[in-house]
Amino acid sequence: MKPVLVLLAALSLLLATPAAAQKPYNVIDWKAPATLSTYLLQELHGQYDLRRAAWNQATQSAANMRAYQDSARARFRRMLGPLPARTPLKARVTGTLARNGFRIEKVIYESTPGHHVTANLYLPEGKGKRPAVLLFCGHEQESKATESYQKTAILFAQNGFVVLVIDPISQGERMQLTDAAGKSLTRGGTTEHTLLNAQAALLGRSVPAAQLWDNVRGLDYLLTRREVDAERVGCLGNSGGATQTAYFLGFDDRVKVAALCSYVAAGERNLELTGPADGCVMLPGAGQSGLDLTEYPLIFAPKPLLLLAGRYDFVDYTSMEATHQELQQAYRLLGRPEQVGMFTYDDGHGISQPKREAAVTWFRRFLLQDATPVREPNLATLSEKELWCTATGQVNTAFQNEQTLTEEYAAEAQQLERTRRALPAERLRTVVQQQLQLAAPQPVVAEAKGTAVAHGITWQKVLLRRSGEPPLPLLLALPAGTTPQKVVMLLSDGGKAALADSTALMQRYLQQQMAVVLPDLRGLGETTDPAAFNDPKYYNREYRPALLSLHGGQPLLGQRVTDILTVMEWVGSTTDLQSKPLEVHATGLSGVVALHAAVLTERISRLSLQQVPASFRDILTEPTRKDTYTWVLPGVLRRYDLPQLRQAVGQRLLAQ
């Protein structure tokens, strides 16, 4: 018997589990689908442990807290990536609606050239400068026309405030992915947010940053109005609008008072309980940077800040309480404990009447020096169409040359391609390794897990372990009665079981005296994340692991490259395999992983790719494409694209 078979057979007697307990090709003897998410959450908790240690140090003194604020501000602005330059707003009022005690102006401005933002401006009757409020909308598709947001704006206007209510990207009149008639090409705003965030990430940008810039320019516009007192500006939002508000508070110091209602971002507890949220919330690298729910409003401290919560909200109430407690610590240290508060009502998600009343009371207290409780009368609202700022209800059909985010990102990618410098082979390897965030390799330990015999082929089951990485299952088949002349590693998005059942293909390799290695890269095959945890609205079958990975600064693509390198190290240390040429044949998105691995090591003697995307730019030219987060590397297009990797592999790459 060959040495490798002797080793595997001996280990299998010790370690194999009963065949009845496993499916034929399964290697892992626990609930394998939980493996990757458990690993990623453990990594996340480790990062937040570091954040907690830093926070505990910050709470020791006012000076420490101010230093922590400065650090959080710097980390947040780094994460936002490059922001546009301020360009002419070209603001216009397209209509006015007279109401009882106030009027509504329909406003359009350009946050960047050709990129139009629609908003309603509520102006109370009377002369003189008034305090002003920015109101950021949650994920309701009708956006600024949502009844609760209309009532919030009206209540503020009736109490003497100018209010600007802005349509976010992909909501209201601002759908980005539409056909020529303005009909959405996706399932709606949150799907758009998510697809656009994948595009933005390739450029080192994000949808939260794009929304932030729209809002910054909204405040720029608000301050051009003669009715507004620039020294008395507040900001509030609900749900996704609360996250917009929190990011705004962390960036723009012109705001004096704020409120967050049903606040949710990609915090540690929320990620563990409900998983990653929509693309307008997710900032790649937030976990790696130690930024949790508290950090963004903390930068605002000690200015007046109110949290509005529903005790039965699907947004985790415990997280809101914890955020309030941390903010209380900060405000006490900074000498303004009375300027942070929390109002809780026994209801659910959204800015209901009691919360609206609490918000307006809070703003009047600090911007008008009047703490009299506000009560909301019966308020009449308007239809969505009545509040349209455009003639058609969509900027994409109202403006012939509307610059959508997809078009903006595609133009930037094209410019980067023209100016990107060619890198020598050694330098490219270094850049790829940095881009993938690869950790220093640890020794590989192999465990034999028995055998599976199917269609006349005997498969050795092997589990590879490497400290700090999730276990990696694979199958190995050896040609009968002879020493292998080559090793072929086969990769497919469907996992090893589907490949193993391709009997004719497997027999062909074995007859050519090739050892066949079928690994399940993490999150594929038997470690596939359950579909129940990956909402189909995100257009990605592995949204949870992909976004948890990006949040923690470990792109899933990079983790899977680590898996390929792990398998190669095991092959290189296994008798009868270690000195043989190694080929890699990869299909689908796994091919992008294999291509990166081939750039990093010439141990791959031949690389065959099938059904592999031509470039990262494909995401920008096919915005509704599914499963793109599987191969998103933040900022990669600023450094290289897949054609450069193919060129670097050279003659080792077989023609597709």
Question: 438 vs 308, 546, 615, 630, CA distance in Å?
Answer: 41, 16, 21, 16
Is it true that domain 91-397 has CATH number 3.40.50.1820? Answer: yes
Between CA 99 and CA 116 the distance in angstroms is 26
Mean pLDDT (whole number) for 45-63 = 97
Please name which of 558, 566, 563, 607 lies closest in space to residue 587, comparing C-alpha atoms.
Answer: 607
Q: Quick one: which of 576, 559, 333, 405 has its CA closest to 478?
A: 576
* Residue-wise pLDDT tens digits, 521-570: 999 999 999 999 999 999 999 999 999 999 999 999 999 999 999 999 99
User: Residue 546: which of 561, 564, 537, 558 has the closest Cα?
Assistant: 558
Average pLDDT for 310-314: 95
8 A C-beta contact, residue 82 and residue 206: no
Q: Given a cut of 60, is residue 19 above it in pLDDT?
A: no
**Which residues 6+ apart lie within 8 Å of 520 measured at CB?**
27, 472, 473, 474, 495, 496, 526, 527
Give the domain ranges of the chain. 3-18+25-46+439-652, 91-397
Whether residue 299 is predicted with pLDDT greater than 60 in this model: the reply is: yes
Say what the pLDDT of residue 18 is: 33
Same fold, 3-18+25-46+439-652 and 91-397: yes
- Mean pLDDT computed over 48-61: 97
Dump strand ranges (E) for 328-482: 340-345, 444-454, 457-466, 472-477
**CB-neighbour burial class of residue 56 (10 A; exposed 0-12, middle 13-18, buried 19+):** exposed
23-41 pLDDT, tens digit each: 899 999 999 999 999 999 9
Phi, psi at residue 477, to the nearest 5°?
-120, 135
Q: Are strands 514-519 and 472-477 parallel, antiparallel or unpaired?
A: antiparallel
Instruction: Please give the span between the terminal C-alpha atoms of the chain, in angstroms, as a whole number.
Output: 38
Measured CA to CA, the distance from residue 234 to residue 315 in angstroms comes to 24
Residues 383 and 145 sit within 8 Å (Cβ to Cβ): yes
What architecture does CATH give domain 3-18+25-46+439-652? 3-Layer(aba) Sandwich (3.40)
Query: CB–CB of 412/418 below 8 Å?
Result: no
| pLDDT score for 481 | 85
For residue 493, give every residue at least 6 positions away whose Cβ sits within 8 Å of its Cβ, in sequence order, or none: 524, 587, 588, 589, 590
Q: Which long-range contacts does 67-72 make (Cβ < 8 Å, 24+ apart)? A: 68/298, 69/298, 69/299, 69/301, 69/330, 72/250, 72/291, 72/295, 72/296, 72/298, 72/299
Residues 161-174, mean pLDDT to the nearest whole number: 98
Q: Which residues contact 184 (CB under 8 A, 6 or more apart)?
A: 175, 177, 178, 192
Q: Is the pLDDT of residue 437 over 50?
A: yes
Confidence band, pLDDT 50/70/90 cuts, at residue 338: very high
Q: What pLDDT shows up at residue 3?
A: 36
Res 385 pLDDT > 70: yes
The pTM of this model reads: 0.93
Q: Which residues contact 438 (CB under 8 A, 6 or more apart)?
A: 558, 561, 562
Contacts of 503 (CB under 8 A, 6+ apart): 454, 455, 456, 457
Whether the Cβ atoms of residue 496 and residue 519 lie closer than 8 Å to each other: yes
Overall average pLDDT of the 615-634 stretch: 92
* Spatial separation of the C-alpha atoms in residues 545 and 530, rounded to whole Å: 10
Of the two residues 656 and 200, the one the predictor is more confident about is 200
What is the pLDDT at residue 576? Answer: 87
For 184-202, what is the mean pLDDT? 95
> Whole-number mean pLDDT of the chain?
94
Measured CA to CA, the distance from residue 6 to residue 83 in angstroms comes to 60
| The pLDDT value given to residue 23 | 80
pLDDT of 502 strictly over 50? yes
Q: Mean pLDDT over residues 206-233, rounded?
A: 98
Instruction: Please give the Cα distance from 462 to 439 (Å, whole number).
Output: 23
- Given this model, what pLDDT does residue 618 score? 87
Give CA–CA dist 608/492, Å, rounded.
Answer: 12
